[in-house]
């Protein structure tokens, strides 16, 4: 494909460069015969417009960054997958940016994306979002966050109702006959993680049962430590709520290593609804987040903000997904 520029198409079609541009970008502004002729010629040549040149001239592009802490975490992978689709449908290209939890990288991505004239960005945080960092960029006001944000109503957000999710989990476990229910926290940096934990603490208190926090750590080893703590107890709970599915996997794995069986010996329920959960051993009961919806909504919110400046905060409903990892307590 040698040097196929707008000018060679123009020459081939016998029109001016600007007419070719219009034929592609503002079709209604050019006589339909002219347009069709141009398009045909372009097609024949195999010509497509350079997104680079377009972005440079227009000062806006269709690149939209999705900033995630760790693509290896299936929650973010699933989010990335659905968002790729959502973006495609709307003519954007999603640029996956992985921070590995390094805030400096987030900053780097922001400036890079500003330089790429990204119309907006999506951030799925691993730590509480630094609203100051957001403000340091023009870009900061064109970001939507997949988490709750504190102290800055200017940024649109999508989340799932954490309290409601924990309530669903607790109700499910109660209805099975459990009265002593432990909790292992998840990646604890986010508001979401904190909300889940707070909900557990409050709702336990309300139901009159003492909360048993098996681990409140913020890393992926929380599950392993939670299991150790469980194993060391004289009177362990008969069920465990894990703050997210990955933690639930780790809990079950560590428990299994010590011969504790799920759900026979202890019930475990996760939070996320990862596809992987269906293929875990045992298949994981969990609180499902509508990940696909979150992805679509995030993009809609960004477009809406771009269009009319409105800032929405959407809270989605979670859903109980009963599989094999929960059952009644041992007699």
Partner DNA sequence: CTGAAAGCGCTTACAG
In Å, what is the CA distance from 292 to each residue of 147, 152, 282, 316? 15, 25, 25, 11
User: Which of the listed partners (DNA, a copy of itself, none) does 90 bind, with a CB threshold of 5 to 8 Å by partner kind?
Assistant: none
Tell me which residue has tokens 């081939």. 12
Q: Are 94 and 62 in contact (CB under 8 A)?
A: no
Q: Is 96 in the site for a copy of itself (CB under 8 A)?
A: yes
Subset of residues 34 to 73 that bind DNA, contact rule: CB under 7 A: 34-35, 47-50, 53-54, 56-59
What is the rounded distance in angstroms from the CA atom of residue 146 to the CA atom of residue 129?
Answer: 10
Q: Given the complex with a copy of itself, which of 56 and 210 has the nearer CB atom? A: 56
What is the rounded distance in angstroms from the CA atom of residue 20 to the CA atom of residue 12?
Answer: 11
Among 32, 258, 281, 306, binds a copy of itself (CB under 8 A): 281
Q: Is 279 in the site for a copy of itself (CB under 8 A)?
A: yes
Q: Which stretch binds DNA (CB under 7 A): 9-17, 62-70, 230-238, 285-293?
A: 9-17
DSSP 254: H
Q: Given the complex with a copy of itself, which of 139 and 200 has the nearer CB atom? A: 139
Q: Is 60 in the site for a copy of itself (CB under 8 A)?
A: no
Q: Which residues sit opposite 287 in a β-bridge?
A: 271, 320
Q: What is the H or E stretch that residue 306 is in?
A: helix 291-308
Contacts of 103 (CB under 8 A, 6+ apart): 127, 130, 133
Q: Is 258 in the site for a copy of itself (CB under 8 A)?
A: no
Q: Is 202 in the site for a copy of itself (CB under 8 A)?
A: no
Q: Are 61 and 49 in contact (CB under 8 A)?
A: no
Specify the pairing of strand 319-321 against strand 285-288: antiparallel
Q: Given the complex with DNA, which of 11 and 174 has the nearer CB atom? A: 11
Contacts to DNA by CB under 7 A: 3-7, 15-19, 21-22, 24-26, 29-35, 47-50, 53-54, 56-59
Contacts to a copy of itself by CB under 8 A: 1, 48-53, 55-56, 61, 70-72, 74, 77-78, 80-81, 84-85, 93-96, 98, 100, 111-112, 114-117, 137-138, 223, 246, 249-250, 252-253, 256-257, 262, 275-276, 278-283, 324
């Amino acid at each position: 494909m040698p040097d196929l520029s707008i000018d060679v198409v123009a020459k081939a079609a016998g029109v001016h460069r600007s007419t070719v541009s219009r034929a592609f970008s503002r079709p209604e502004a050019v006589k339909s015969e002219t347009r069709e002729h141009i398009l045909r010629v372009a097609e024949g040549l195999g010509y497509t417009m350079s997104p680079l040149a377009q972005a440079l001239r227009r000062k806006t592009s269709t690149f939209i960054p999705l900033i995630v802490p760790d693509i290896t975490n299936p929650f973010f992978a699933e989010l990335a997958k659905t968002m790729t689709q959502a973006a495609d449908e709307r003519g954007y290209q999603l640029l996956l940016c992985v921070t590995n939890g390094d805030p400096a990288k987030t900053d780097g991505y922001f400036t890079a994306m500003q330089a790429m004239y990204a119309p907006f960005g999506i951030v799925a945080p691993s730590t509480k979002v630094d609203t100051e960092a957001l403000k340091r960029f023009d870009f900061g006001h064109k970001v939507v966050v997949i988490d709750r944000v504190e102290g800055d109503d200017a940024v649109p957000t999508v989340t799932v109702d954490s309290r409601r999710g924990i309530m669903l989990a607790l109700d499910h476990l109660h209805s099975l006959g459990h009265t002593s229910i432990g909790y292992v926290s998840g990646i604890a940096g986010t508001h979401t993680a904190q909300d889940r934990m707070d909900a557990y603490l409050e709702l336990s208190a309300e139901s009159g049962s003492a909360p048993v926090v098996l681990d409140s750590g913020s890393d992926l080893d929380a599950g392993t430590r939670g299991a150790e703590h469980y194993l060391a107890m004289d009177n362990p709970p008969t069920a465990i709520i894990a703050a997210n599915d990955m933690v639930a996997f780790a809990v079950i794995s560590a428990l299994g290593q010590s011969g504790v069986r799920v759900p026979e010996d202890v019930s475990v329920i996760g939070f996320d609804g990862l596809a992987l959960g269906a293929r875990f051993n045992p298949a994981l009961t969990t609180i499902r987040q509508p990940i696909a919806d979150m992805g679509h909504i995030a993009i809609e919110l960004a477009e809406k903000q771009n269009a009319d400046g409105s800032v929405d905060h959407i809270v989605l409903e979670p859903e109980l997904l009963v599989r094999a990892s929960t059952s009644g307590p041992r007699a």
